[in-house]
């Protein structure tokens, strides 16, 4: 357990690391024999740790509850990954009091020291990369490359936000008035709720948490019930890095009983959430209601998913387009808010595209992510049933051209659903409008580029999109008319990189938070202008 002391001043090495330009963490090469062996060893080591019990941690105190959250391996539902305490209404005031107590000192800790904490955490994550990849494989079913991307993005968020905090701390007013000293200070908001998703249970959870605390806020962290173990491991890394008690309070709990109560609490200053549109809107509505004793307008930072399209034009590199659509639609089984769920293909190349798409999809291997199959299970039984239901809807709304057989397609074995492609789908069909969040792709025919853009913009979402074309005129039109927060040309619509692709969407995709960009930390601060008349002061 950590003590209530705060991190020391930055060491010279930490100062140098923050002064160095930010560089994205390189991806691992699992075709390299020593790298492959290291991953296999990590999987074996983590497997021996599965099933242990984790406590709530509130103000540094370990707490057990009668009710538990049991996390399972979606590839083997009988295997328990972790057993967690279930926070409820009784823990709301405890967590808030601990966070408020820590805020009094943490908010006044120098930005350089807060940044140093993130830098140390990044170093620990880097050292334990293979172990964290293994946890992601067991708890949410990521193959090795998807797990590595999640861990790499975690490191990127920690390193990037550490540097951004120092940049924000050095902010200055555009001018200095004669006879005055003018300052602009970005100060923390207060206590915030961080509610991350299960699909990027390390990167998004760590990114929202680290952005909040590096700005001087304190956090009540309620991880996803499908991925609390990964959050617990990351919390232990923060403690190892020197996290003071109460700065982050680790509180797995039921959304209705604990999460909703934290969101509604009059002392909760902000809520950072990534998840479904339905839950995000409920959070936004609850946050907008002023509670008795509340002295501020709550801030919401919301990312709520998408119904993303890739437009494929006749002048494109067709093979590249097929590869980009497949990677975007079926990477991590389509369980990404950025995933392509609609391919909008020009009439002239429609049949050829579908033919090549089916040929490519039928070569995708489905199996145990621990053995590094490209496609593993979906996250849980409820998702399994819902996705299969959408496939049945798709059979009525279009033509199923790919639906491969998954291994032992039995929910008692694992929640496997093979990549599924449904062609000849109308732009207004349910499977073309509703977020499925699984390995299901709708293929829609477009009669012109005008038609393709109209279809791409016809949903209530606006997160990611892509266009495959070699026409400069079409690319330039798409820059203006393709209404999404993250737009890509001649590449897949997933895989946003910290620093290069600030991430967040329009419309019902959320508040366009732009995680991993230069504006993100502003969401966790408030600007204070200070003007001092120059003179003799004693």
Q: CA-CA distances (angstroms) from residue 245 to 3, 130, 218?
A: 6, 28, 10
Residue 538 has pLDDT above 70, yes or no: yes
Residue 280 in tokens: 């995000």
Residue 3 has pLDDT above 50, yes or no: no
Q: Beta strands 248-250 and 340-346: pairing type?
A: unpaired
Nearest 5°: the CA angle 226, 58, 521 is 75
- Range 411-434 average pLDDT: 93
- Range 166-192 average pLDDT: 97
User: Whole-angstrom Cα distance, residue 525 to residue 299?
Assistant: 10
Q: How is 459-520 classified by DSSP, letter by letter?
A: SSEESEEEEE---HHHHHHHHHHS--SEEEESS-S----TTTS-B--EETTBS---BTSTTG
Per-residue model confidence as pLDDT tens digits over 215-234 = 999 999 999 999 999 999 99
Among the residues of 193-311, which ranges form H helices?
A: 203-214, 228-241, 260-264, 277-288
Residue 344, exposed/middle/buried by CB under 10 A (0-12, 13-18, 19+)?
buried
Neighbours of 279 (CB within 10 A): 18
Rounded to a whole number of angstroms, the CA Rg of the chain reads 24
- Range 209-220 average pLDDT: 98
- Range 462-488 average pLDDT: 98
User: Whole-angstrom Cα distance, residue 507 to residue 528?
Assistant: 30
Q: How is 211-243 classified by DSSP, letter by letter?
A: HHHHTT-EEEE---TTSHHHHHHHHHHHHHHTP
Q: Identify the pLDDT of residue 11.
A: 56
Per-residue model confidence as pLDDT tens digits over 433-458 = 999 999 999 999 999 999 999 999 99
Phi-psi region of 495 (alpha: psi -120 to 50; beta: other; left: phi over 0): left
- Of 257, 252, 190, 255, give the one whose Cα is nearest residue 219: 190
pLDDT band at residue 190 using 50, 70 and 90 as cut-offs? very high
Residue 345 has pLDDT above 70, yes or no: yes
User: Whole-angstrom Cα distance, residue 117 to residue 257?
Assistant: 32
Residue 191 has pLDDT above 90, yes or no: yes
User: Whole-angstrom Cα distance, residue 292 to residue 490?
Assistant: 52
Residues tagged active-site: 303, 337
Per-residue model confidence as pLDDT tens digits over 110-159 = 999 999 999 999 999 999 999 999 999 999 999 999 999 999 999 999 99
Residue 118 in tokens: 């993130």
Q: Percentage of the chain surpassing pLDDT 70?
A: 95
- Of 513, 464, 456, give the one whose Cα is nearest residue 489: 464
Is 3.40.605.10 the CATH classification of the domain at 32-174+182-304+513-528?
Answer: yes
- Of 316, 380, 433, give the one whose Cα is nearest residue 81: 380
User: Whole-angstrom Cα distance, residue 383 to residue 495?
Assistant: 23
Residue 186 has pLDDT above 90, yes or no: yes
Per-residue model confidence as pLDDT tens digits over 384-405 = 999 999 999 999 999 999 985 5
For residue 260, how far is the Cα from the chain centroid? Answer: 20
- Of 235, 49, 195, give the one whose Cα is nearest residue 134: 49
- Range 67-74 average pLDDT: 97
Q: Are 391 and 403 in contact (CB under 8 A)?
A: yes
Cβ within 8 Å of residue 220, ≥6 positions away = 95, 96, 99, 191, 192, 193, 194, 249, 251, 262, 268
Q: Are 184 and 173 in contact (CB under 8 A)?
A: yes
Phi-psi region of 242 (alpha: psi -120 to 50; beta: other; left: phi over 0): left
Q: Identify the pLDDT of residue 411.
A: 52
Residue 42, exposed/middle/buried by CB under 10 A (0-12, 13-18, 19+)?
buried
Please, where in the chain does CATH 3.40.605.10 lie? 32-174+182-304+513-528
**3-class state of residue 55 by DSSP:** coil
Per-residue model confidence as pLDDT tens digits over 495-530 = 999 999 999 999 999 999 999 999 999 999 999 999
- Range 170-199 average pLDDT: 97
Please, where in the chain does CATH 3.40.309.10 lie? 308-497
Looking at every residue in the chain, the average pLDDT score rounds to 95
- Of 328, 289, 332, 288, give the one whose Cα is nearest residue 310: 328
User: Whole-angstrom Cα distance, residue 254 to residue 88?
Assistant: 7
What is the dotted CATH code of the domain comprising 308-497? 3.40.309.10
Residue 7 has pLDDT above 80, yes or no: no
């Amino acid at each position: 357990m950590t003590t209530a002391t705060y991190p020391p001043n930055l060491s010279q090495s930490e100062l140098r690391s923050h002064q160095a330009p930010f560089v994205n963490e390189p991806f691992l090469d699992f075709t390299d024999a020593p790298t492959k062996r290291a991953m296999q060893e990590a999987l074996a080591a983590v497997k021996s740790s599965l099933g242990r019990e984790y406590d709530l941690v509130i103000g540094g105190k370990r707490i057990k509850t009668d009710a538990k959250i049991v996390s399972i391996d979606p590839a083997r539902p009988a295997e328990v990954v972790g057993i967690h305490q279930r926070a409820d209404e009784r823990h709301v005031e405890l967590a808030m009091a601990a966070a408020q107590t820590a805020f009094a000192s943490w908010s006044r800790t120098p930005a350089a020291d807060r940044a140093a904490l993130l830098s140390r955490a990044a170093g620990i994550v880097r050292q334990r990369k293979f172990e964290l990849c293994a946890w992601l494989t067991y708890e949410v079913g990521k193959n090795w490359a998807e797990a590595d991307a999640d861990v790499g993005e975690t490191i990127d968020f920690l390193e990037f936000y550490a540097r951004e905090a120092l940049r924000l701390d050095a902010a200055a007013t555009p001018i200095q008035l004669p006879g005055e000293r003018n300052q602009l200070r970005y100060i923390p908001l207060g206590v915030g709720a961080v509610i991350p998703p299960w699909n990027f249970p390390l990167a998004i959870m760590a990114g929202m948490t680290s952005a909040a605390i590096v700005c001087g806020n304190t956090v009540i962290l309620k991880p996803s019930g499908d991925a609390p173990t990964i959050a617990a491991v990351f919390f232990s890394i923060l403690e190892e890095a020197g996290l003071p008690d109460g700065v982050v309070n680790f509180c797995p709990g039921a959304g209705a009983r604990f999460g909703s109560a934290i969101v509604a609490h009059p002392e909760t200053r902000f809520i950072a959430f990534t998840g479904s549109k339905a839950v995000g809107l409920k959070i936004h509505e609850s946050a907008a209601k002023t509670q008795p004793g509340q002295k501020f307008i709550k801030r919401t930072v919301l990312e709520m998913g998408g119904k993303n399209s890739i437009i494929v034009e006749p002048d494109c590199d067709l093979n590249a387009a097929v590869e980009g659509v497949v990677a975007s639609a079926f990477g991590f089984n389509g369980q990404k808010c950025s995933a392509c769920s609609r391919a909008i293909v020009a009439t002239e190349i429609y049949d050829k595209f579908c033919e090549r798409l089916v040929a490519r999809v039928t070569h995708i291997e489905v199996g145990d992510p621990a053995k590094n199959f490209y496609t593993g299970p979906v996250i849980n039984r409820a998702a399994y049933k819902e996705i299969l239901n959408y496939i049945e809807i798709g059979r009525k709304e279009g033509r199923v051209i790919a639906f491969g057989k998954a291994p032992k397609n039995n929910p008692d074995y694992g929640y496997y659903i093979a990549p599924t492609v449904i062609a000849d789908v109308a732009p207004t069909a349910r499977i073309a409008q509703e977020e499925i969040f699984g390995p299901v792709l709708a293929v829609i025919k477009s009669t012109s580029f005008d038609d393709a853009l109209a279809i791409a913009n016809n949903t209530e979402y606006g997160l990611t999109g892509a266009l495959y074309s070699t026409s400069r005129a079409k690319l330039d039109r798409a820059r203006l008319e393709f209404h999404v927060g993250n737009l890509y040309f001649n590449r897949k619509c997933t895989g946003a990189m910290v620093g290069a692709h600030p991430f967040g969407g329009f419309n019902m995709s959320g508040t366009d938070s732009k995680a991993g960009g230069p504006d993100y930390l502003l969401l966790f601060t408030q600007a204070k202008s200070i003007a001092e008349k120059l003179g003799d002061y004693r």
